[in-house]
Amino acid sequence: MKHVFPTYNRFPIDLVEGKGTVVTDKAGKTYLDFTSGIAVCNLGHCPDNVTEALQLQVANIWHTSNLYECALQESVAKLITDGDNKQVFFCNSGTEANEAALKLARKYTGKEKIITFEKSFHGRTFGSMSATGQAKINQGFGGLVPGFTYVPYNNIKAFREELDENTAAVMLEIIQGEGGVIPANAAWLLEVQMLCKKVGALLIIDEVQTGMGRTGTLYGFEQIGLDPDIFTLAKGLGNGLPIGAMVGKGNLSSAFGAGSHGSTFGGNKLALACAKEILLTMKQAGFLEDVNAKADYFRNLLEEDVEVLDNVSAVRGEGFLIGIELENAAEPVVKELRDNGLLILTAGPNVLRILPPLTVSYAEIDQATHLLKNVLENQLIGSEEG
């Protein structure tokens, strides 16, 4: 790819077709996709109902701008908020959703300080990059947006020491996906929420990767009983169509009036037609129960067949956001699995990140577990011989 900036270390395959969990490269080789396009294709590739919704919208109208009312935006916003006293700002990505959240928090509170966490990831534009607690993300770009401070994750003492009445907001992920698939402690999260309320800081939850059923509930924070002031969505909201959403409590709307923020393509009809169908699917009776049953089945297999291996340190995560920490480097395992027809990701130098579609079958889970076990055993034998 000589004419594209090399901002990604790309795998040497070109995927040209996908259906459900299976993708095909231009050479005709098929793979089980347990990446879901990095937690995007939560309903699998090209689900029939979403494809039909997109085709119908394409035949009518594509784009009108946000200068006109849009019933489709209101319909999707209601599905996202479930009728609660919340409002939605539509954009095109998780990064943009997080930028909107940061702007809203500062404008509403009139304060600048924002606390985020070490090993967090919130995006790569200047605001979201400044919120990200990983030095490697911002190297070489000069001064960051001021006002951000980072504290250790799951450490209530460090958080208490940093939080004060000058804090506009606290931004966090309930599972640090890019940071190594590190789940937050539920008691810690609840105390963070309580302390935020005590000093008047807004609680922002980045649900870009954990949301849209990925962890077993529509939004990950629902499992813990959190009530964030703001949360952000993207990835699975569009199942491959670019869309993001910043969701805030209704009392915050006074800070986001006309002209305060915007997006040319945010809330476009093509992406929203897909998002509406995706949300309706996930809200169907039994859908998330089925996801949880399959996720529990997969987790049990991994604990029985994979976690017991000598080169595996731990299996962790929630739902279908799974991390496998290894004793050695993760990349050779990813490569050998790819060669054998299974696509997964890394989350740091020694963590495998596994993100199957929520619609994955039990047979596909069995097949993936078998491949994973065999490859890890091969890697273990190779390291012992070496």
Write down the residue that tokens 């698939």 correspond to: 181
263 annotated ligand binder: yes
Length reported for the chain: 386
Q: Is 209 annotated as a binding residue?
A: yes
Which residue do the tokens 């480097």 mark? 329
Q: Is 208 annotated as a binding residue?
A: yes
Rounded distance between C-alpha atoms, residue 239 and residue 214, angstroms: 12
Which contacts of 6-14 are long-range, i.e. CB under 8 A and separated by 24 or more positions?
11/338, 11/343, 13/338
Query: Where is 100: in which H helix or E strand?
Result: helix 94-109
Is residue 264 a known part of a binding site? yes
Residue 159 known to bind ligand: no
CA angle 276, 320, 203 (to 5 degrees): 70
Classify residue 380 as exposed, middle or buried by CB count within 10 Å of its CB (0-12, 13-18, 19+): middle
Distance CA 364, CA 42 (A): 15
The CA distance from 173 to 119, in Å, is: 10
- DSSP sequence for 323-369: EEEESS-SHHHHHHHHHTTEE-EESSTTEEEE---TT--HHHHHHHH
Cβ contact 241:33 at 8 Å: no
Quick count: other Cβ atoms within 10 Å of Cβ 67?
5
Q: For residues 343 and 32, what is the distance between their CA atoms, to the nearest angstrom? A: 6
Q: Residue 21 annotated as binding? A: no
| 3-class SS of residue 31 | strand
> Residue 265: exposed, middle, or buried by beta-carbon count in 10 A (0-12, 13-18, 19+)?
middle
Q: Provide the terminal-to-terminal Cα distance of the chain, rounded to the nearest Å.
A: 35
Task: Consult the annotation and say whether 124 binds a ligand.
Answer: yes
The identity of residue 234, as a single letter, is A
User: Does the annotation list 139 as a binding residue?
Assistant: no
Q: Name the binding residues for pyridoxal 5'-phosphate.
A: 94-95, 121, 206-209, 264
Q: Name the binding residues for N(2)-acetyl-L-ornithine.
A: 124, 263
Q: Name the binding residues.
A: 94-95, 121, 124, 206-209, 263-264
